[in-house]
Amino acid sequence: MNGTKKNREILSWGKSVFVAFAIVVVVRTFVFAPYIVDGASMEPTLHDQEKIFVNKVNADNLEREDIVIIKGVEENYVKRVIGFPGDIIEIRNDKLLINGVEHKEEYLKENRDEANKQGSTLTGDYGPVTVPEGHYFVLGDNRLRSMDSRNGLGFIKESSIVGISEFVFFPFSDVRAVQ
């Protein structure tokens, strides 16, 4: 192989690698990104050290109960969206009230059963509070062990939400959609 042909082949490979790298950067920055769950605040829905993919495209189309990644100052948080701007949030007798109406949280069944066995509740009474414009109210599923809008994170700015958790991709034995 002469030098010119070799240079063209190297240049061709270089272009291919550059294009592939650029695609990965664009997808990771604007479409999907992997995150690691750190802690037990979302148990049993998500477990410590599970790896999840987050959809960044639909971050502007949140629905109640979506599990989101929140960009913090020093770390990111995984929480469930409970309250939207203008909502009045209250917790009374272990029941979540949104705008005065009880909101059933089926995903808390396992935690609630465990708390009942121990003769306790998932959380103390809280609120009522009104979610300000441009903010959300979030809670962890493991209410006894979650820092969330009730006790440390406060209301979450809309701009702090990175994306919506779509599925767990690691460990491979537990790949599943996140609900």
SS3 34: strand
Per-domain residue ranges for the chain? 1-30, 33-171
Identify the pLDDT of residue 78.
Answer: 94
| Predicted confidence pLDDT, tens digits, the chain (179 residues) | 567 878 787 777 877 776 666 556 555 555 568 888 999 999 999 999 999 988 887 667 899 999 999 998 788 999 999 999 999 999 998 899 999 999 999 888 888 888 888 888 888 899 899 999 999 999 999 988 899 999 989 999 999 999 999 878 888 788 777 87
Identify the pLDDT of residue 29.
Answer: 55
Identify the pLDDT of residue 129.
Answer: 97
160 belongs to the catalytic site: no
CA nearest to 169, candidates 63, 46, 58, 82: 46
Identify the pLDDT of residue 31.
Answer: 57
Exactly one of 16, 56, 79, 173 is catalytic; name it. Answer: 79
What b/e string do you get for 117-156 counting C-beta neighbours within 10 Å, with b at 16 or more? eeeebbbeebeebebeeebbbbbbbbbbebebbbeebebb
Identify the pLDDT of residue 167.
Answer: 79
120 belongs to the catalytic site: no
Q: Work out whether the CA dihedral 23, 28, 45, 173 comes out positive or negative.
A: positive
d(CA 142, CA 108): 8
Identify the pLDDT of residue 27.
Answer: 55
Exactly one of 6, 12, 16, 41 is catalytic; name it. Answer: 41
Identify the pLDDT of residue 119.
Answer: 83
Identify the pLDDT of residue 71.
Answer: 92
33-171, what's its fold?
A: Umud Fragment, subunit A (2.10.109)
In the numeric block, which tokens belong to residue 84? 């939207």
